[in-house]
Structures are given as structure tokens and as C-alpha cells.
């Protein structure tokens, strides 16, 4: 096969081969893997602009450090809702653009619009609303991309396929994270503005990012063709319906327990006068319990073929490897979300001496956070090139454990650093962990899932990414005020401990791979 062949040509070759069930997918060349994942470059541009600049925008528009976690709650909530639903429907979609690509394109259009509008926000509520729109839209595009690799890439290339996504994630994040600083230092665009106004450098970066996001996703849409249901059947994929195992009515008892716990937590928040963000956890648990009760009643009445029943059934029947990986992801993303929320207030305060979200010192510090984010993403992009070879040599689970420990050391080292430049070394360890988090769990997961339900299970797996974000958003502000109100840097050792815990848990997955 020629290295520059398109994915469409490979699919055509598969059609010409003997149509036997269980045949292997053709191995893909460099440019085919490139085209499959290039859209992730644009998706990560959107995420990176958000991650490096939204706390800055919120603070510019009047938010305090303690308010940041709850304002960031859009990410976990939209991911929790959107990704499983999109995964469910993309497993069942087939049209002129295939089953995954329509969602790539729809999400890219909406996300680009949100990015373009973000710099126009003149009030905190406007910025918060646009963050909800941006996160929901990015999730619409991102979830099918994870399943796309599982659809199109043979198991012999799964780690390499997800490594390509990591390369583009890192590259997109580098470009987006550096954009405000580049516009300021090289092109002379101001990084300061009147109080309550978003700096021009940030505004231009968001506008450029909107174009880049849409163009990158469109590239993948136009340069790839998905395997049809008939082709997937030749590779041994069963139908979605054959994989569905509906829940029975006894789920009502479990649902009642979740509902009671959630309402009790919400009542405790009200009775004790605790921080309002904790209501999110209480009502979230109550909503999950209510969904189980509603589903159990519907199943008892014979209504089994509903979206709710499919999602709850699939969640209850997760493969064993997915259950183990879910715990690893929970701890890993708990630490990452701490980084994204608190990096700006920590660096601006401890390395630049700015305690207020105004002035040259604060904005220089915020620009440096963009540089640091570019460093760890750049490390991830480069490291992803050798991850598949290292995984083959020492084993995927051992390699992931090593990388997570490197990330933990990166977080912990920030406590010892008083000036900006040495923070680059901290970001190297975090970058190694980031590359591994984006590659290895998905490679292990896709190998353990039924082909017909890759979309929905990838979406459900995202629950264990967004749940820690939800916990951080609702709890960390309260924890900081109660235990370390004048020392936000304490949150980084908490992140380090989460990475170490994930490193220990990933070793439990090895038995499933032998």
C-alpha cells in the first residue's frame, strides 16, 4: 500500500478482498492516520484557548479565585450529558457522510461560532454562557473522533492511531496556548485593556482559533471515507441491537438509593450553610437516581428500546477492563482539571507577585501560563511519536504508570520554584503524563469493547473524565476557603497525589491484557 493512499482507497481495497466475516482491517499508512486524526488539531485549539485563557477572562470580568471552579462547571456537565448521547446516536447513524463525520462537522460549526463570539463578552454571565456553548459543541465533535479510530484502525495499529490524535492534540494546544503571547511579543498586539475588558491579544487569538478549528475538522471530513456497515460486518462487528442487554425493573431500588443520597446531600448543604456549588453534586446524584427509577418503570411496562434504557444498560454492563480504566481516568483527570483551573492564579501570584487580576504583572503571568501550557503540550506531541514503541517494549500499563509518576513529580515541584523559567521543567513531567493519558487508556479500552458500541462506550467512558471535573468544580473552592484560603498552591500537591493513585491502579489492568 502506498504511504500517501487515502482512507477511501483503503476501504475500496477492502471491498475487493474476499468478504469473509472476521477479516482484518487493512493497515493504514502515515498519511491515512494523519487524515483520520487531523481534525483533533482544531478541536484542541478550541480546548487550549479555553484552558489557558478562560480563567483569565473570568477574572477580568470580575470573578474571584474562589468563583473559578463553579464557573468552569460547563465542561463536566456538558461532557456528562452530550458525549454518551452523541456516542449512542453515532453508532446508529449512516448517511452520505458516514456515521461519525456528520457529528464532527456539526460540532465544529457550533464551536467555531462560540470561539468567535467569546471576546465580545462584556459581562461574566455572557462569558459563562459562551463557555457552555463552546464545551457542548466541542464535545459533539470530540466524542465521535475517539470512536473513529476504533472504527477505521486495525487492532495492530490502535496505539499508533491514538498516538496520532495525541500528536495533534499537543500541536494544537501549543499553537493556541502561545497565540496571545506571540501576538503580544512578536506582532505588538496589546495584552492589557481597561478593567472589565478582554485584552486585544486574547480576542484576536480566539478569532484565529475559530477559523483553525473549523478548517481542521473539515479536512478530516473531506479526506476520509468511513467503512460502511457491510464492511464493518466483514471485520467481525456485530449489530448494535445484538449487543444491547436491557436493564430490568429491579434498578428502581438502586435508583431510589441514589435519589435519597443526592437529596440528603443537598439538604445538608442548605442546613449547614455550605457553599452553593455543593448543590451541584447533590442534585446530580438525585438526577441519576431519578433516571434509574424512570427507566425501571418504563422497562416494567415493556418500553425497553429507549435512549435512557440503552445508556443506563450500557453503563451497568461495562466490560471489566473499562471498569478498571474508569478509576484510572477519574484520578488522572481530577489532577488535570486542578491544573487548568488554578495554573493562572497560582503562577500570577507566586512567580509574578500579582494578587489582583489587573496590571502588567498579572497579564505577563497569564501570558506565561500560556507558554507553560504550550510546553507541556509540545512535550506530549513529541513524546507521542515514541509512545507506541515504548509500550511494545515495556508494556502499556507499566509505561502509563511511569508517565503518571513523572506528572506527579511535575506538580509537586511547583512548590519549590519561585521564578517563572524553571516551571518549564515541571511541565515536562506533566507533558509526559498528558501524552500517556490521551493515548494508552483509549488504546486499551478500544481493544476491550464490542465494535458495534464503540461510540456509546467511548461516550460513557467520558463520564469518568467529567465526574472528577464536576467534583473539582463543586468542591475545590470550598476546600480552598476552609483549609488554605491564602495558599492556592496547595491544590497542586493534591493533583500530584491523584496521579500517583492512578499510577498504582493502572497496574491492575495488566491481568486483562495477558
Q: Which residue has the higher pLDDT, 57 or 479?
A: 57
Is 391's pLDDT higher than 60? yes
Q: Are 308 and 274 in contact (CB under 8 A)?
A: no
Nearby residues of 68 by Cβ (< 8 Å), 6 or more positions away: 55, 58, 59, 341, 342, 345, 477
Q: Which residue has the higher pLDDT, 185 or 511?
A: 185
* Band of pLDDT at residue 20, cut at 50, 70 and 90: very low
The distance in angstroms from the start CA to the end CA of the chain is 31
207 sits in which H/E element: helix 200-223
* CA-based nearest residue to 39, from 134, 129, 165, 180: 165
Give the per-residue pLDDT at 1.
Answer: 37
Is 60's pLDDT higher than 60? yes
Q: Give the cell for residue 208.
A: 484565529
Give the per-residue pLDDT at 68.
Answer: 67
Report CA 396 to chain centroid distance, whole Å: 20
Which residues are 95's β-sheet partners? 98
Nearby residues of 51 by Cβ (< 8 Å), 6 or more positions away: 173, 177, 340, 373
Distance CA 229, CA 159 (A): 24
* Band of pLDDT at residue 181, cut at 50, 70 and 90: confident
Measured N-to-C along each axis, helices 74-92 and 463-483 cross at an angle, to the nearest 10 degrees, of 170
Give the per-residue pLDDT at 247.
Answer: 54
Q: Cell 513524546 appears where?
A: 383
Average pLDDT on 107-130 reads 86
Q: Which residue has the higher pLDDT, 6 or 428?
A: 428
| DSSP 8-state assignment for residue 197 | S
Give the per-residue pLDDT at 263.
Answer: 92
Give the per-residue pLDDT at 22.
Answer: 55
* Band of pLDDT at residue 4, cut at 50, 70 and 90: very low
Nearby residues of 382 by Cβ (< 8 Å), 6 or more positions away: 170
HSE toward the beta carbon, residue 429, CA cutoff 13 A: 21
Give the per-residue pLDDT at 268.
Answer: 86
Q: Which residue has the higher pLDDT, 65 or 208?
A: 208
Give the per-residue pLDDT at 409.
Answer: 95
Give the per-residue pLDDT at 92.
Answer: 81
Average pLDDT on 74-80 reads 73
Average pLDDT on 14-32 reads 64
Give the per-residue pLDDT at 248.
Answer: 47
Distance CA 211, CA 179 (A): 14
pLDDT digits (tens, 9 = 90+) for 92-115: 888 788 888 899 899 999 999 999
Q: Are 85 and 459 in contact (CB under 8 A)?
A: yes
Q: Which of 9-18, 404-413, 489-498 has the lowest mean pLDDT?
A: 9-18
- What's the mean per-residue pLDDT of the chain? 81
Give the per-residue pLDDT at 118.
Answer: 85
Q: Which residue has the higher pLDDT, 326 or 191?
A: 326
Q: Give the cell for residue 504.
A: 498504582
Per residue in 432-456, is it b (16+ CB within 10 Å) or e — as a string? bbbbbbbbbbbbbbbebbebbbbbb
Is 125's pLDDT higher than 60? yes
Average pLDDT on 367-374 reads 83
Give the per-residue pLDDT at 74.
Answer: 67
| pTM of the predicted protein model | 0.75
Q: Cell 479510530 appears where?
A: 149
pLDDT digits (tens, 9 = 90+) for 195-254: 767 788 888 889 999 999 999 999 999 998 888 777 777 776 555 555 555 554 446 778
Give the per-residue pLDDT at 65.
Answer: 64
SS3 label, residue 98? strand
pLDDT digits (tens, 9 = 90+) for 420-449: 888 999 999 999 999 999 899 988 888 788
* Band of pLDDT at residue 505, cut at 50, 70 and 90: very high
Q: Are 225 and 7 in contact (CB under 8 A)?
A: yes
Is 136's pLDDT higher than 80? yes
Is 511's pLDDT higher than 50? no
pLDDT digits (tens, 9 = 90+) for 264-290: 988 987 887 766 667 777 888 898 889
Q: Are 366 and 54 in contact (CB under 8 A)?
A: no
Average pLDDT on 61-80 reads 70
Nearby residues of 290 by Cβ (< 8 Å), 6 or more positions away: 255, 259
Average pLDDT on 44-53 reads 82
Q: Which residue has the higher pLDDT, 121 or 259?
A: 259
DSSP H helical ranges for 61-190: 68-71, 74-92, 101-117, 124-152, 158-185
Average pLDDT on 45-74 reads 74
> Rg of the Cα trace of the chain?
23
Amino acid at each position: 500500500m502506498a504511504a500517501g493512499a487515502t482512507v477511501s482507497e483503503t476501504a475500496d481495497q477492502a471491498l475487493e478482498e474476499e468478504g469473509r466475516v472476521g477479516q482484518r482491517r487493512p493497515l493504514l499508512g502515515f498519511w491515512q492516520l494523519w487524515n483520520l486524526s487531523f481534525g483533533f488539531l482544531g478541536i484542541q485549539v478550541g480546548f487550549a484557548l479555553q484552558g489557558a485563557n478562560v480563567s483569565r477572562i473570568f477574572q477580568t470580568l470580575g470573578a474571584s479565585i474562589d468563583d473559578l471552579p463553579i464557573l468552569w462547571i460547563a465542561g463536566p456537565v456538558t461532557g456528562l450529558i452530550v458525549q454518551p448521547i452523541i456516542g449512542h446516536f453515532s453508532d446508529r447513524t449512516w448517511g452520505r457522510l458516514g456515521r461519525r463525520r456528520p457529528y464532527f462537522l456539526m460540532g465544529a460549526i457550533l464551536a467555531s461560532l462560540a470561539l468567535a463570539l467569546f471576546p465580545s463578552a462584556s459581562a461574566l454571565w455572557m462569558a459563562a454562557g459562551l463557555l457552555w456553548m463552546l464545551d457542548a459543541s466541542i464535545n459533539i465533535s470530540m466524542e465521535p473522533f475517539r470512536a473513529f479510530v476504533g472504527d477505521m484502525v486495525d487492532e495492530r495499529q490502535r496505539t499508533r492511531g491514538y498516538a496520532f490524535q495525541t500528536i495533534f492534540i499537543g500541536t494544537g494546544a501549543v499553537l493556541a496556548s502561545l497565540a496571545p503571547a506571540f501576538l503580544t511579543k512578536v506582532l505588538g498586539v496589546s495584552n492589557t485593556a481597561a478593567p472589565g475588558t478582554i485584552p486585544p491579544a486574547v480576542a484576536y487569538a480566539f478569532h484565529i482559533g475559530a477559523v483553525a478549528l473549523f478548517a481542521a475538522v473539515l479536512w478530516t471530513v473531506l479526506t476520509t471515507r468511513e467503512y460502511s456497515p457491510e464492511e464493518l460486518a466483514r471485520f467481525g462487528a456485530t449489530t448494535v441491537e445484538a449487543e444491547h442487554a436491557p436493564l430490568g425493573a429491579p434498578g428502581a431500588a438502586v435508583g431510589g438509593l441514589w435519589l435519597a443520597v443526592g437529596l440528603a446531600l443537598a439538604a445538608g448543604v442548605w442546613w449547614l450553610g455550605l457553599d452553593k456549588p455543593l448543590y451541584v453534586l447533590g442534585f446530580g446524584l438525585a438526577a441519576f437516581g431519578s433516571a434509574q427509577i424512570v427507566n425501571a418503570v418504563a422497562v416494567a411496562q415493556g418500553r425497553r428500546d429507549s435512549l435512557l434504557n440503552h445508556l443506563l444498560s450500557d453503563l451497568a454492563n461495562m466490560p471489566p477492563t473499562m471498569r478498571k480504566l474508569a478509576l484510572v481516568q477519574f484520578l488522572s483527570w481530577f489532577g488535570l482539571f486542578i491544573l487548568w483551573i488554578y495554573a493562572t492564579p497560582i503562577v500570577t501570584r507566586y512567580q509574578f507577585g500579582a494578587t489582583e487580576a489587573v496590571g502588567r504583572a498579572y497579564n505577563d503571568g497569564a501570558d506565561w501560563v500560556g507558554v507553560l501550557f504550550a510546553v507541556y503540550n509540545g512535550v506530549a506531541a513529541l513524546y507521542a511519536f515514541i509512545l507506541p514503541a515504548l509500550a511494545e517494549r515495556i508494556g502499556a500499563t507499566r509505561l502509563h504508570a511511569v508517565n503518571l509518576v513523572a506528572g506527579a513529580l511535575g506538580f509537586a515541584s511547583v512548590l519549590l520554584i519561585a521564578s517563572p523559567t524553571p516551571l518549564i521543567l515541571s511541565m515536562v513531567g506533566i507533558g509526559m503524563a498528558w501524552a500517556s493519558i490521551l493515548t494508552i487508556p483509549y488504546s486499551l479500552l478500544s481493544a476491550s469493547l464490542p465494535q458495534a458500541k464503540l461510540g456509546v462506550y467511548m461516550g460513557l467512558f467520558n463520564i469518568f473524565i467529567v465526574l472528577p471535573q464536576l467534583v473539582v468544580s463543586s468542591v475545590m473552592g470550598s476546600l480552598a476557603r476552609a483549609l488554605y484560603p491564602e495558599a492556592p498552591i496547595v491544590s497542586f500537591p493534591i493533583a500530584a497525589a491523584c496521579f500517583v493513585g492512578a499510577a498504582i491502579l493502572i497496574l491492575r489492568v495488566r491481568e486483562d491484557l495477558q
